[in-house]
């Protein structure tokens, strides 16, 4: 197969000739075949991202040649390089690099506008790309309204905008969780195997090499080894993802029936996998019990997860309550008057949290009785109220405030408001001598009823 990229004795320095000089790429000579799926693999700082930037022309190298489709890009002007990248290479960035002020559709359409495609046609093609990546429903959203995985899929769609034969992906999984990382890997594989595109990826995660056909191992700016993997690269090295059904931890009342909630296991390649459950719960005895869930996919990858089951008393033996004012005695807690909504938790005698009380819109002038509920049990507790919040002081004028030397200082004062007591008096201390340059501090103090 013919080489689509040929790199000959490339050397790249940053700050060459300065005390901070870094020799980032050292005599790199490699070839990348058309339709290959390549990874530059190595630890942080080894030069793998710089290698991508040299191939794409983002970073200028000082020595050597990079030929793409037999065209030497080392002699191209900045404008020529920009035109070349717009049609010859699609770049997927670790940080997504979406335009924050443009919606998803316009982000994907933007590269097409740069090569002269009309906005109407660009948006039609952008919709097709979004549909392929199952992102069309987000076309009108802004980037900040999307998750990391969704933003990366938009980044891939944008990279495909002008149908480039080469896709470059710089740590495309770096900001993603395992589920979204697997989705991105599957799509990169599809671009290579179904579309026939040359895919070049930078990574330091060994599990992400599952579909790669050629691995260039890098260290200190040098390619130290090259590995051709099996031509059936779809080795399944990622274990299933187990999702528990029901709460964790789970609470069961003593002497009632425990109903196992189960779990679901999904594998990126094998789909739904069997889950084996081990462990038991004796509801006649108070305590904690562990249920273990195990799933093994077809490749032998093992995943496990656990659930804690607490067997608790049928009576509501409160030993503590906690809320905005820390842990307090269970009977007669004090609620701050100024808060319209306050949350308190109660704890059973074995240390297990069993209920939450939210006080919302109560009569703040008198004591109230509230009920804590947990499953089929309840307990009442009396709460009283006190004004424990200081006034809120708002300064008039600017802070800091600038006054011209030898001019008159006009004290602007402040206003203090208390949620219960209304407007409160403000005492002012400190002075300003405008005949002397410098900084002066004016202090405002307010005490409510």
Q: Dump pLDDT digits (tens) for 320-346.
A: 444 444 444 443 444 444 444 455 555
d(CA 239, CA 296): 7
Is 60 exceeded by the pLDDT of residue 361?
A: no
pTM value?
0.52
Q: What's the pLDDT score for residue 335? A: 45
Q: Which of 193, 120, 187, 121 is nearest to 160 (CA)?
A: 187
Inside any domain, residue 233: no
Q: What confidence tier does 352 reach under pLDDT thresholds 50, 70, 90?
A: very low
Q: What is the pLDDT of residue 235?
A: 55
Contact 149, 174 (CB under 8 A): no
Q: Burial of 280 by CB count in 10 Å (0-12 exposed, 13-18 middle, 19+ buried)?
A: exposed
Of 56-65, 367-376, 379-388, which range is least confident? 367-376
Q: How many distinct structural domains can be found in the chain?
A: 4
Classify residue 236: in a domain, yes or no: no
31 and 111 together in one domain: yes
Position 365 scores a pLDDT of 43
Segment 428-439, tens digit of pLDDT: 999 999 999 999
Hey, which of 121-130, 243-252, 259-268, 292-301 has the most confident mean pLDDT? 121-130
Are 338 and 360 part of one and the same domain? yes
Same domain, 343 and 369: yes
**Residue 83: is its pLDDT beyond 80?**
yes
Which CATH number characterizes residue 193's domain? Answer: 3.40.50.300
Same-domain pairing of 341 and 374: yes
If pLDDT is split at 50, 70 and 90, which confidence band does 319 have? very low
Tell me: do 134 and 210 sit in the same domain: yes
Structure tokens that stand for 8 in this block: 């000959």
Give the mean model confidence (pLDDT) for residues 84-90: 86
Would you say residue 234 lies in a domain?
no
- CA angle, corner 96, sides to 42 and 268, nearest 5? 70
pLDDT score of 386: 54
Q: Which of these ranges, 134-138, 356-360, 434-438, has the smallest mean pLDDT?
A: 356-360
Please report whether residue 32 resides in a domain.
yes
pLDDT of the residue at 239: 84
219 and 251 part of one domain:
no
Find the range with the poorest average confidence among 69-83, 170-184, 365-379.
365-379
Residue after which a domain boundary falls, among 297, 312, 327 = 312
Residues 106 and 130 in one domain: yes
For range 383-399, the mean pLDDT: 76
For the chain, the average pLDDT equals 81
Write the CATH number for 267.
2.60.40.10
pLDDT-derived band of residue 28, with 50, 70 and 90 as boundaries?
A: very high
The pLDDT of residue 99: 92
Q: Residue 42 — very low, low, confident or very high, per pLDDT cuts 50/70/90?
A: confident
Which tops the pLDDT comparison, 114 or 364? 114
- Per-residue pLDDT for 449 more than 70? yes
The predicted structure's pLDDT at residue 439: 93
- Last residue of some domain: 200, 228, 256? 228
Residue 23's domain comprises 3-228
Residue 325 shares a structural domain with residue 381: yes
Q: 8 and 155: one domain?
A: yes
- Average pLDDT on 283-297 reads 90
Mean pLDDT of 195-205: 91
Q: What is the pLDDT of residue 277?
A: 94
Q: What is the 3-state secondary structure (H, E, C) of the chain?
A: CCEEEEEEEEEEEECCCCCCCEEEEEEEEEEEECCCEEEEECCCCCCHHHHHHHHHCCCCCCEEEEEECCEEHHHCCHHHHHHHHHHHEEEECCCCCCCCCCCHHHHHHHHHHHCCCCHHHHHHHHHHHHHHCCCHHHCCCCHHHCCHHHHHHHHHHHHCCCCCCEEEEECCCCCCCHHHHHHHHHHHHHHHHCCCCEEEEEECCHHHHCCCCEEEEEECCEEEEEEECCCCCCCCCCCCEEEECCCCCEEEECCCCCCCCCEEEEECCCEEECEEEECCCCCCCCEEEEEEEEEECCCCCEEEEEEEEEEECCCCCEEEEEECCEEECCCCEEEECCCCEEEEEEEECCCCEEEEEEEECCCCCCCEEEEEEECCEEEEEEEEEECCCCCEEEECCCCCCCCCCCCCCCCCCEEEEECCCEEECEEEECCCCCCCCCCCCCEEEECCC
- 235 domain-assigned: no
Distance separating alpha carbons of residues 348 and 205, to the nearest angstrom: 45
Among residues 261, 281, 312, which one ends one of the domains? 312
Question: Does residue 116 carry a pLDDT above 50?
Answer: yes
| 314 pLDDT more than 70 | no
| Shared domain check, 248 and 101 | no
Residue 281 pLDDT more than 80? yes
User: Looking at the structure, do residues 66 and 203 belong to the same domain, yes or no?
Assistant: yes
Asked if 151 and 294 sit in the same domain, the reply is no
């Amino acid at each position: 197969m013919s080489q689509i990229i040929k790199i000959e004795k490339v050397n790249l320095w940053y700050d060459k000739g300065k005390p901070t000089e870094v020799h980032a790429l050292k005599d790199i000579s490699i070839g990348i075949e058309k339709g290959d799926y390549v990874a530059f693999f190595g630890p942080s700082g080894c030069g793998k991202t710089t290698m991508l930037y040299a191939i794409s022309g983002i970073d200028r190298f000082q020595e050597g040649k990079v030929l793409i489709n037999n065209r030497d890009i080392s002699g191209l002007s900045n404008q020529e390089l920009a035109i070349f990248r717009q049609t010859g290479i699609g770049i997927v960035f670790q940080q997504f690099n979406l335009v924050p002020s443009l919606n998803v559709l316009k982000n994907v359409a933007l590269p097409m506008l740069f090569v002269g495609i009309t906005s109407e046609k660009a948006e039609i093609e952008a919709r097709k790309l979004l549909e392929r990546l199952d992102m069309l429903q987000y076309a009108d959203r802004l980037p900040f309204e999307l998750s990391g995985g969704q933003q990366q899929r938009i980044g891939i769609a944008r990279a495909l905008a002008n149908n480039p034969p080469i896709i470059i992906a710089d740590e495309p999984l770096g900001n993603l969780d395992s589920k979204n990382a697997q989705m991105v890997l599957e799509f990169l594989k599809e671009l290579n195997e179904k579309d026939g595109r040359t895919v070049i990826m930078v990574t330091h995660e060994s599990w992400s090499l599952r579909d790669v056909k050629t691995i260039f191992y890098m260290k200190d700016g040098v390619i130290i080894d090259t590995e051709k993997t099996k031509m059936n690269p779809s080795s399944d090295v990622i274990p299933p993802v187990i999702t528990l059904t029901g709460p964790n931890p789970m609470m069961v009342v003593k002497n009632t029936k425990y109903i196992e909630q189960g779990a679901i296991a999904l594998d990126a390649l094998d789909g739904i996998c069997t889950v084996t459950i081990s462990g038991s719960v004796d509801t006649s005895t108070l305590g904690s019990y562990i249920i273990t869930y195990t799933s093994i996919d077809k490749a032998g990858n093992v995943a496990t997860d656990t659930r804690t089951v607490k067997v608790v008393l049928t009576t509501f033996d409160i030993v503590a309550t906690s809320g905005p004012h820390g842990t307090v005695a269970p009977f007669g807690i004090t609620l701050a008057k100024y808060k319209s909504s306050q949350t308190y938790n109660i704890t059973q005698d074995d240390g297990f949290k069993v209920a939450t009380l939210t006080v919302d819109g109560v009569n703040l002038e008198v004591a109230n009785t509230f009920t804590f509920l947990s499953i089929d049990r309840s307990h009442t507790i009396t709460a009283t109220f006190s004004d424990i919040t200081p006034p809120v002081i708002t300064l008039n004028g600017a802070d800091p405030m600038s006054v011209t030397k030898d001019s008159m200082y006009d004290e602007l004062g402040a206003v203090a408001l208390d949620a219960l007591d209304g407007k409160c008096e403000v005492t002012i201390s400190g002075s300003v001598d405008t005949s002397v340059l410098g900084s002066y501090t004016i202090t405002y103090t307010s005490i409510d009823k």
